[in-house]
């Protein structure tokens, strides 16, 4: 009987915080917990969250997971934190949060982003300088916005942190960032893996922003030990080590074993993401592909669509359907939804690059206006956005032998078939649908192993802890692939008119 090696993985997302307890020795997930967050929304595209909610959800989800796993928190060896990317958390010199965190899905700073993009020399200039094209959701425009809209808050900034950096700071008292999550700030160079200090000086010549930056650490490095008071509050071993952590996409990559070339992970969450692994920063000339650093030592070329289960969920709520009823209706309607097309850009859109777009329905007639067709059109429309993104990754030379599906949407068998057919690629899910929380726990085990003189490589840990669910494997059906190709071309024509 091998001794258990217990790690806590946390994923702080837009809708809530998930916690899992992983035994890295056996590769088994022993228990899980979850707690919800609420959003502060404004008609101007404001999307913010009260960071105190994250701390409360962290504690609640952790206690649930420990209880479900039936383990003693004193035996937890390490903690890994995954967080929603791009969010801005500002602290004063006492370590207190200055205002609600502005999130990745906030578009209130679009005007500031446009000005910064012009300052960088447009998309081409941004790509050359940073290796990414800054988008409205990125952190950098939030800083300029804060300076102009909240000068008093701005004058008190002592630390600039991303959501997962802030949770690590709360856990350890140390402010640092790792390359993966830092890649999504817009003031970080993904090729050289360094902050772009000049860009921050251009925003504010006083040097305040530069002084507020966290130090950068490698993915395999620990942030430090948990603070005794926080350990007591969470019921966790006070010697537990907090790993570097990372953004939710970077942790999702680890949690799906996407740490070497050839793998593709597709996440069907509130937003949709598709990402692959690369050993080198091969920056795509296409502005929509973000060549972020991974949290496993490489790079993670990624596309993100702003609308996925938020769009299908809106249709579901409109018709007051539960998930089962919704899936049944989607399955009833034919491929192409009898000619009904939905451009599901309810949140604006990043891929295709249409930040100011709104959602629309096309091709409606008296005959095809049914609940089933509208439900199906929402699923197809969101999935076509992911196909558009996958094609961009393929044009950049990335191979996709199979797609690992994660996120809430992946639990739907009808949606899995639609993905396999639209992408013309086999898809499979992992047993553990909370891939980001799992990835965070695996990374914590890797950091612990690294500090113990490399007992386990990351690849060995992924092999042991990431389990594929063979019952979910879904192969494309040739006749469907052809039918979807036609529907996809129709979608592209509608997009072109925008």
Tens of pLDDT along 323-351?
Answer: 999 999 999 999 999 999 999 999 888 88
Q: CA 174, 62, 103, 37: dihedral to nearest 10 degrees? A: -140
pLDDT at 379: 98
CB proximity list for 286: less than 8 A, separation 6 or greater: 392, 395, 396
Strands 263-268 and 272-276: antiparallel
The conformational region for residue 358 under phi > 0 = left, psi -120 to 50 = alpha, else beta, is beta
Residue-range domains of the chain with CATH:
6-246 (3.30.420.40)
What is the distance between the alpha carbons of residues 354 and 164, in angstroms, rounded to a whole number?
28
The conformational region for residue 134 under phi > 0 = left, psi -120 to 50 = alpha, else beta, is beta
Q: Name the 3-class secondary structure at 397.
A: coil
pLDDT digits (tens, 9 = 90+) for 375-423: 999 999 999 999 999 999 998 888 888 999 998 899 999 999 999 999 9
Q: Which of 10, 8, 36, 34 is nearest to 22 (CA)?
A: 8
Cis amide bond preceding 307, omega within 30: no
Structural contact between residues 386 and 427, judged by C-beta atoms closer than 8 angstroms: no
What is the distance between the alpha carbons of residues 474 and 363, in angstroms, rounded to a whole number?
30
pLDDT at 370: 98
The pair of structure tokens assigned to 262 is 């050839």
DSSP single-letter state for residue 150: -
The stretches in the chain having pLDDT less than 70 are 1-2
Q: CA 234, 238, 239, 243: dihedral to nearest 10 degrees? A: 30
What is the distance between the alpha carbons of residues 126 and 104, in angstroms, rounded to a whole number?
19
Structural contact between residues 266 and 428, judged by C-beta atoms closer than 8 angstroms: no
Supply the pTM of this predicted model: 0.92
pLDDT at 485: 98
What is the distance between the alpha carbons of residues 11 and 439, in angstroms, rounded to a whole number?
9
Q: CA 318, 321, 326, 328: dihedral to nearest 10 degrees? A: -140
pLDDT at 133: 94
Strand partners, 82: 11, 246
The active-site residue out of 11, 106, 165, 248 is 248
Task: Name residue, tokens 């010549």.
Answer: 205
What is the distance between the alpha carbons of residues 212 and 197, in angstroms, rounded to a whole number?
11
pLDDT at 2: 65
CB proximity list for 15: less than 8 A, separation 6 or greater: 36, 37, 270
Establish whether 279 is a catalytic residue.
no
pLDDT at 354: 86
């Amino acid at each position: 009987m091998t001794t258990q090696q217990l790690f806590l993985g946390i994923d702080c997302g837009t809708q809530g915080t998930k916690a899992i307890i992983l035994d890295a020795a056996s590769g088994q997930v022993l228990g899980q917990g979850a707690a919800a967050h609420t959003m502060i929304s404004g008609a101007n595209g404001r999307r913010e969250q009260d960071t105190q909610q994250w701390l409360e959800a962290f504690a609640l989800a952790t206690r649930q997971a420990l209880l479900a796993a039936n383990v003693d928190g004193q035996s937890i060896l390490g903690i890994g934190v995954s967080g929603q990317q791009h969010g801005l958390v500002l602290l004063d010199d006492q370590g207190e949060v200055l205002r609600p965190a502005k999130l990745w899905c906030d578009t209130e700073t679009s005007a500031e982003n446009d000005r910064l993009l012009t300052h960088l020399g447009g998309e081409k200039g941004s790509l050359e300088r940073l290796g990414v094209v800054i988008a409205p959701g990125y952190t950098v425009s939030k800083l300029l916005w804060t300076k102009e809209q909240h000068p008093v808050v701005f004058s008190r900034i002592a630390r600039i942190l991303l959501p997962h950096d802030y949770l690590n700071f709360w856990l350890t008292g140390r402010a640092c960032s790792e390359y993966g999550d830092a890649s999504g700030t817009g003031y970080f160079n993904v090729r050289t893996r360094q902050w772009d200090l000049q860009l921050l000086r251009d925003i504010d010549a006083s040097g305040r922003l530069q002084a507020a930056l966290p130090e950068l650490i490698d993915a395999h490095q620990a942030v430090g030990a948990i603070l005794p008071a926080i350990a007591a509050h969470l019921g966790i071993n006070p010697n537990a080590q907090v790993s570097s952590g990372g953004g939710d996409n970077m942790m999702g990559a680890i949690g799906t074993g996407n740490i070497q070339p050839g793998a593709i992970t597709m996440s069907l969450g509130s937003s949709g993401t598709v990402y692959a692994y690369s050993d080198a920063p091969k920056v795509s000339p296409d502005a929509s592909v973000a060549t972020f650093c991974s949290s496993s030592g490489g790079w993670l070329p990624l596309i993100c669509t702003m609308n996925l289960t938020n769009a299908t969920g809106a249709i579901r709520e409109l018709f007051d359907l539960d998930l089962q009823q919704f899936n049944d209706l989607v399955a009833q309607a034919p491929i192409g939804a009898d000619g009904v097309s939905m451009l599901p850009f309810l949140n604006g859109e990043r891929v295709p690059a249409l930040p100011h777009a709104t959602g629309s329905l096309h091709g409606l007639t008296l005959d095809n206006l049914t609940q089933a067709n509208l439900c199906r059109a929402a699923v197809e429309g969101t999935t076509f956005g992911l196909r558009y993104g996958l094609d961009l990754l393929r044009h950049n030379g990335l191979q996709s032998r199979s797609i690992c599906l994660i996120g809430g949407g992946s639990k739907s068998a009808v949606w899995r078939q639609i993905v396999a057919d639209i992408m013309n690629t086999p898809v499979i899910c992992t047993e553990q649908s909370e891939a980001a929380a799992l990835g965070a726990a695996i990374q914590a085990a890797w950091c612990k192993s690294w500090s113990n003189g490399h007992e386990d490589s990351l690849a060995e840990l992924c092999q042991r802890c990431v389990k594929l669910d063979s019952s979910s494997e879904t192969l494309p059906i040739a006749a469907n692939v052809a039918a979807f190709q036609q529907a996809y071309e129709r979608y592209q024509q509608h997009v072109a008119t925008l």
